[in-house]
Structure 1
Amino acid sequence: MASEAPAAEVGAEVEAKPGALLEVASRAQFEELLRLRARSLIVIHFWAPWAPQCTQMNDVMVELAKEHPQVAFVKLEAEAVPEVSEKYEISSVPTFLFFKNMQKVDRLDGAHAPELTRKVECHVSSRVPSRPPGCTKDEFNLRLKKLTNAAPCMLFMKGSPQQPRCGFSKQMVEILNKHNIQFSSFDIFSDEDVRQGLKIYSNWPTFPQLYVSGELIGGLDIVKELAASNELETICPKAPKLEERLKVLINKASVMLFMKGSKQMAKCGFSRQILEILNETGIDFETFDILEDEEVRQGLKAYSNWPTYPQLYVKGELVGGLDIVKELKENGELLPLLRGEA
């Protein structure tokens, strides 16, 4: 488990950042929390600093806070706030209480990380899904249908393939990559309406969820079974070989720039400089962010026999990096080359 993140005081930061725990230090703060977060699920850990199992469970709470940013995860030192502990009959630590709409709805006694995780998932999944204001049920379902069909293989996950935000999503990405499955993804943390609505649309209460041709395949357990039985590769589209993929990418546009960042935001000084030069020419060009795809980042170096970035291609042929582009500009050769006149 990750080490425990600093706890935020309720009065200072009611909406804790993902991975942070709120901390209640008085009865007044406890009651304020229930009132301010009445519409959210609140999980309160009654703990003691002298109990090592409590420290371990605080680490578990940090991980759960990362996976469920819409849930308030709180720690309350049981002996420091006796009025609250007595009211809810806290006789040992660790003890966990679950609150919704200012009412206690569940309880867990003891340091049982799997059971705590299960209970949180259960309460989160039971939430009634919402729709954006002014959006009818049919319109919302049409949006979900389009999302599940956005690519031949679509993974709805917590985070991105580069930065999964839960263990289940990380395992799913690893399996798909191991089997060379070509897939696109959607971060359910980026849209709460999609996150909740997809559970009803697919009749599947948890994430990640994998879709092929718009049809639900299932979650991690099912994908594991398909992989073990060698059925996964027959169901999911396989990614093209790297060399074929690189050929497609460098020919995606007449002028292609492989860089760190994008047209809108370069992420290194060399990429920023070459963007400025290309923008001055007025020639249309496309970019590919090599920081988003490690396979392309490393593979293109060998394919082009060019060890650094940025790399500029015109009609599928490597022109070079920043120094060569600068030289071409100074010699008046860059614009004719980009136009295909050279």
Structure 2
Amino acid sequence: MTLTISPAARDALSGWLDAQKALRNASANTLEAYRADAVEFVAFLTAHHAEPQGLAPLARVTTPDMRAWMAHLRREGLAARSVARKLSAVKSFYRWLAQREGFEPTAVLSARAPKFQKKLPRPLTEDAARAMIDTVGMQSQTTWQSARDMAVVTLLYGCGLRISEALGLTGRDLPLGESLRILGKGRKERIVPVLPVARRAVESYLALCPYPMEPDAAVFRGARGGPLNPRLIAKATEQARMQLGLPATATPHAMRHSFATHLLGAGGDLRAIQELLGHASLSTTQAYTAVDEVHLMKVYEATHPKA
């Protein structure tokens, strides 16, 4: 399908994306995904109605239009999860557009996403998480880079940070104290405790790092002194999991999942874990209860004295 949209629709999409960036602090990757999904929707309407979709036609979208679009996506082979993601982007665009242009977006906002089975997080065991941290430190050729990689992964597991949050730390965050102020997704601020083991890992790295720690500079540096590329941590983690015989799901983000799951398994409060992770919705955190139930069932099946 040729992605053809009118200048008016293109300008509206640009304004919406600017608003998403300003109000939600959306990342470049998120904005690009939003843009692609919304452009595809408008292009579909252009082909579906055989006419350019300016602002007036966009305001007249009907329930049958929405059904036709989602049916088209399924015929294209998109999974239910992908269709739901695209619908979410289109709804966001229409909320913004309806408020700006003063029309009723019910047909779009009432469209129901197809049901799909949510993927559960894949945490590591406690022993595997510790082994991952140690083994990550064996992947670099220099001592300071090994200490750097270990410090980053320790923060992911020990503080539940996202990789972007760990790599977003600057000299102003040093020295690490007993807690750390993190500005996460959507500019949501949270305070996370910093365990002694995480402080020691960062201190060990700082003692070896050959670059000065200016207040505005990234704490974690690449080989040439610039901000560390997250792909390097992903590569070190991949090499470590292969050496340890861990599954492909043992990624940097799995360390954050492991942090939450192990806290929950130790009796942590779900609301407190939500705050530590920076989840906007408790339903996101509740996925970990399902993970813990799976673990409990495995323990039960392995240890229960069967008759």
TM-score in same-fold range (> 0.5):
no
More strand by share: 1
More helix by share: 2
Higher relative contact order (CA 8 A, sep 6+): 2
TM-score by length of 1: 0.26
